Structure 1
Amino acid sequence: MDNLKEKTAQGLFWSAINSGVTQVLNLVIGIFLARLLSPEDYGIVGVLTIFTVIAGNLQSSGFTQGLINLKHPEPNDYNSVFWFNILASLTIYAVLFFCAPLIAMFFHRPELTELSRFVFLGFVISAFGIAQNAYMTKKMMNRRLATVSLAALAVSGTAGIAIAFSGYRYWSLAWQQIIYISVLNAGRYFYSDWRPSLHIDFTPVKKMFGFSVKILATNIINTIGNNILTLVFGRLFPMKAVGNFTQAYKWDTMANSVVSGALSQVSQTVLVSAADSGDRERRVFRKMMRFTAFLSFPVMFGLALVAEEFIVLTISDKWLDSVVLLRILCISGAFMPFYTLYQNLAISSGRSDIYMWLNIVQIVLQIGVILLFHPYGMTAMVVVYTAFFIMWLAVWQAYARKFIKLGFTDTLRDIMPFMIAAAATMGATFFITKNIGSYAVVLPLRIFIAVALYAGTMKLTKCEMFDECLAFLSRKRK
């Protein structure tokens, strides 16, 4: 138990470092690009997101999670998945290549034909690194994964800014994606010990198929759910409005990824290690819930608090229309990391069927509710999306009770103190600073006051999670 606890702490530490520094780099890169490009440029590339992510899901077919879920995967398991990904990606790219004119026709933008064919090359390139990523994740090589990710982001971001500065508009965003995936794969091969061989045996893929196909279906449904607003908005509203939503969604995703990104690299591996251990698995899961709540609520509520100052000072007032959307999305974003935990609990329990069906039902209902509010405009649709997203967590909690006998009151006891503390902190900060007129003054002041109030609250209430985080960071400094 102590060994698992230390490995979990180490994994979360490096994953958090990766997620945190990644989002800082994304922040800097995003500021430069948003100042160089227009909302319309972001809208044009944004409407392609759903196609690239679905294609990526089809390409990996859930076998990444399948590999991680194996207790002791063999080299042939990785090799089988590697070659399956290569063949799948080439097949899917050929289909999408010929579908590009139809995509352009759907969104009424002829330039999307050539652009989409280029962007779709990304998942062909990524196919060469999926098995490597699964290998490194299974081995909990989080420090090296962080190094590779940061290097790829720095190189691709610099290239994207240079291309945008040269006047190539939305093409800079497309090139940034391609360069990022290429550098990421190169880094994975540099650090990973495993190498593919020409001995092709799809037997492991066949054995994992029943489990992985449910993951595949769920990933596709999740992708549709996460990008449904962009898809619908791209069809119904001007590209400028779509670009404003894309910008808000991007900042929201970057912020909640600080927590969910760290958890996604660690939680499934740790939960698999603790599986079938009864109370031990429940204790591990509840510890992760508290860690999630401890970080997620102040980060997301804090971003909602400073959304206007942040947008105007960083990417200029031409993006001011995205502020309201960002504030709404921050509320749902605070709960996004909890979905990561619940979903990985289902997967580690071998219940990919539950994982699949809960997500399918969620997205179907979510789409229906969103479309009902279409006549009321974009903002109303985002509000409904957020409300439904939060309420659906109750369904996941009901199944967590079946998996590890986790009661609803236990969950509330784990997360509510942090949510209340974060909300009270942001409310107090707002009233202290509401009469300050200068954006340049109020932004850093609100951040400083909010951090001080939240940390002080954790210290005064003798929060165990706060003390453990300080103790761990103290050990790392030594």
Structure 2
Amino acid sequence: MNTISDKLKKSGFWQSVEVITLIITRFVFFAIMARLLSKEDFGLMAIASGFIAVGSIFAESGMGSALIQRKNISARHINAAFQGSFLFGFIFFVLMLAFAPLASRFFEEPELILLIRVIGINLIALSISSVAIGVLHRNFQFKEASIVTIASCIISYSVGVYLGTENYGVWSLVIATLLFTMFKSVGFFYFAKVKLLFEFNYKEWKDLFSFGSGMILLKTTSFLSSSGLNLFLGKILSPTLLGVFDRASYIKTIPSVYFGNILDKIMFPAMSEIQDEEEKLSKIFEFGIGLSNSVLMPLTVFLVFFSNEVVQILLGNQWNETVLLLQIMFCVIPFSISGRMADSVIRSKGLIYSNVKRKLIYVCFLLITVTTSAKFYGLIGAAIAVTVSYMFNYILVVILVKRIFNKTFQELFLKPMIPAIKLSIVLAVIVIVFKSLFNIWGGSDLLCFIISIVFLSGLLLFLAYKYPSYLGEYNRVTIEKVLKKKHKSN
């Protein structure tokens, strides 16, 4: 019988493969599309996606997470989840068809009518995929889920790039998005091997909805802090400026979202299994926070120093106004991952509504500060407000998690952060030395960026193999476990 540790290791491998592949694929995709499409195209897509994100909250309806969190489920529960999600997805698809003209008039963008109606098909596909992926994650079938996700991403983005070269504009993004979700839905449903029952399982749906309704509220607050924010800014900023803000926000979230997804998808099922074992749960949480900070905090330092080079590679010379926005917003990366970890803990304990209250406070603060700052100070004001809001959210997370574990701030948050701070200071010194030498030598910034990556990657591999303790306690433990497993297999 596989232990939690065995499941985490296997799941972690496949999630890492998925995340690395998705990062590379999406980097390439958006680097190409940023050179093929206009900023206005990205602005229109941001608005259309915002409306679809509203419907997706209800189309997914938290049923996938409810299946994972519930200790015992039957075929009736799975069918009830599918039935409920599909019903909500269809209803909101119809609503998108009806309200698209109103959205178009509100934003004064005629093209939004057809954009919203077509991309609304995504809601039907999401209603299927969300439950199927919940079944796969509950059963720790991360291999199958990762293979489907990777294949769907590569195929759909390849089609999107082709359409972009054929001058389809914003429609190349719409079609790529639709294909990605549809392919995932078919693949997840196939591997989940769900036996559909042609009867309405109201009792089981009600059991799941008590948790799922909390997830709807939670996702609503998440929506308002991401895609929903674009809808608010869409009325204040032009589509071109919104496109700039959207691309900066997207790049800013990549490290924390993908690394957070690894931890969330693995940790939530594992934490749900041991939700009644307080000490084990707190240790998993502390280690997750420590490991994520040890990776993401030094990465944040590196990205702040090389934001200009990141923009040149991912977006091109025509997006230079994005550089300062990124340098400001990159600072939120370590704080955002703490929120993701807290979400996993709280959901595993079934304390959804406590988390909803925390997120509502955070979202109100975010929307008020960002929209006000954008109105009076433009894009820079919006970026500063986003950073301040994330830090405010971090304080709320600390308060909530402390109540759950009844432990001190030092035990839960300060201790996991100290190794990361030390690593970040060392990395900052190395980068400053490199950039100073290149300025004296007269080398290009891009060459400095490439050489820095090569040097730091080599140094990281050397230290990981020879002196892992230099990389901090949490990295050391992780590396030693990986190397020990490798030696055993040999």
TM-score over 0.5 (shorter chain): yes
Shift of residue 116, structure 1, vs aligned partner: 0.8
Q: Which residue in the other structure is 2:400 paired with?
A: 399
Could you tell which deviates more after superposition, 229-238 or 111-120? 229-238
Inter-partner Cα distance in structure 1 for 2:233 and 2:252: 18
Asked if 1:422 is matched to 2:424, the reply is yes
Residues 286 and 416 in structure 2, CA contact (< 8 A), matched pair in contact too: yes
Secondary structure in structure 2 of the residue aligned to 1:461: helix
Residues 282 and 406 in structure 1, CA contact (< 8 A), matched pair in contact too: no
Residues 66 and 208 in structure 1, CA contact (< 8 A), matched pair in contact too: yes
Inter-partner Cα distance in structure 2 for 1:145 and 1:300: 29
Q: Which residue in the other structure is 1:198 paired with?
A: 198
Inter-partner Cα distance in structure 1 for 2:406 and 2:91: 44
Q: Which residue in the other structure is 1:447 paired with?
A: 453
Correspondences of 1:147-162 after superposition (within 5 Å):
147-162=147-162
Inter-partner Cα distance in structure 1 for 2:189 and 2:228: 34
Q: Which residue in the other structure is 1:413 paired with?
A: 415
Q: Which residue in the other structure is 2:92 paired with?
A: 92
Inter-partner Cα distance in structure 2 for 1:409 and 1:211: 32
Q: Which amino acid aligns with 1:395?
A: L
Secondary structure in structure 2 of the residue aligned to 1:361: helix
1:364-423 Cα shifts (integer Å, max 9, x gaps): 122222233231222112112211212321221222122122321111111232134224
Q: Which residue in the other structure is 2:38 paired with?
A: 38
Inter-partner Cα distance in structure 2 for 1:340 and 1:309: 28
Q: Which residue in the other structure is 1:64 paired with?
A: 64
Shift of residue 454, structure 1, vs aligned partner: 6.0
Inter-partner Cα distance in structure 2 for 1:363 and 1:109: 27
Inter-partner Cα distance in structure 2 for 1:450 and 1:241: 35
1:108-137 Cα shifts (integer Å, max 9, x gaps): 110010111001111112222222111001
Q: Which amino acid aligns with 1:401?
A: K
Q: Which amino acid aligns with 1:428?
A: I
1:44-86 Cα shifts (integer Å, max 9, x gaps): 1011222111211111222222111111221111100101111
5+ residue gaps, structure 1, are: none
Q: Which amino acid aligns with 2:67?
A: L
Residues 18 and 146 in structure 1, CA contact (< 8 A), matched pair in contact too: yes
1:239-268 Cα shifts (integer Å, max 9, x gaps): 211111111122222222231110121111
Inter-partner Cα distance in structure 2 for 1:126 and 1:212: 15
Aligned residue pair count: 478
Secondary structure in structure 1 of the residue aligned to 2:195: coil
Residues 301 and 427 in structure 2, CA contact (< 8 A), matched pair in contact too: no
Residues 228 and 367 in structure 1, CA contact (< 8 A), matched pair in contact too: no
Residues 33 and 164 in structure 1, CA contact (< 8 A), matched pair in contact too: yes
Residues 274 and 280 in structure 1, CA contact (< 8 A), matched pair in contact too: yes
Inter-partner Cα distance in structure 2 for 1:380 and 1:431: 31
Correspondences of 1:246-395 after superposition (within 5 Å):
246-373=246-373, 374-395=375-396
Inter-partner Cα distance in structure 2 for 1:314 and 1:190: 35
Inter-partner Cα distance in structure 1 for 2:347 and 2:318: 43
Inter-partner Cα distance in structure 1 for 2:347 and 2:152: 29
Structure 1 residues 381 and 136 mapped into 2: Cα distance closer, same or farther (>3 Å)? same
Q: Which residue in the other structure is 1:142 paired with?
A: 142
Shift of residue 314, structure 1, vs aligned partner: 4.0
Superposition TM-score, scaled by structure 1 size: 0.94
Shift of residue 210, structure 1, vs aligned partner: 2.6
Q: Which residue in the other structure is 1:111 paired with?
A: 111
- Find 2:479's aligned residue among 467, 470, 474: 470
Inter-partner Cα distance in structure 2 for 1:209 and 1:378: 40
Shift of residue 326, structure 1, vs aligned partner: 1.7
Inter-partner Cα distance in structure 2 for 1:282 and 1:233: 39
Shift of residue 286, structure 1, vs aligned partner: 1.0
Residues 401 and 407 in structure 1, CA contact (< 8 A), matched pair in contact too: yes
Residues 435 and 448 in structure 2, CA contact (< 8 A), matched pair in contact too: yes
Q: Which residue in the other structure is 1:13 paired with?
A: 13
Shift of residue 469, structure 1, vs aligned partner: 2.9
Q: CA RMSD in A?
A: 2.1
Q: Which amino acid aligns with 1:81?
A: A
Q: Which residue in the other structure is 2:236 paired with?
A: 236
Query: Percent of counterpart pairs with the same letter?
Result: 16
Inter-partner Cα distance in structure 2 for 1:89 and 1:337: 29
1:333-358 Cα shifts (integer Å, max 9, x gaps): 23222111101111111211101111
Inter-partner Cα distance in structure 2 for 1:151 and 1:30: 17
Correspondences of 1:178-193 after superposition (within 5 Å):
178-193=178-193
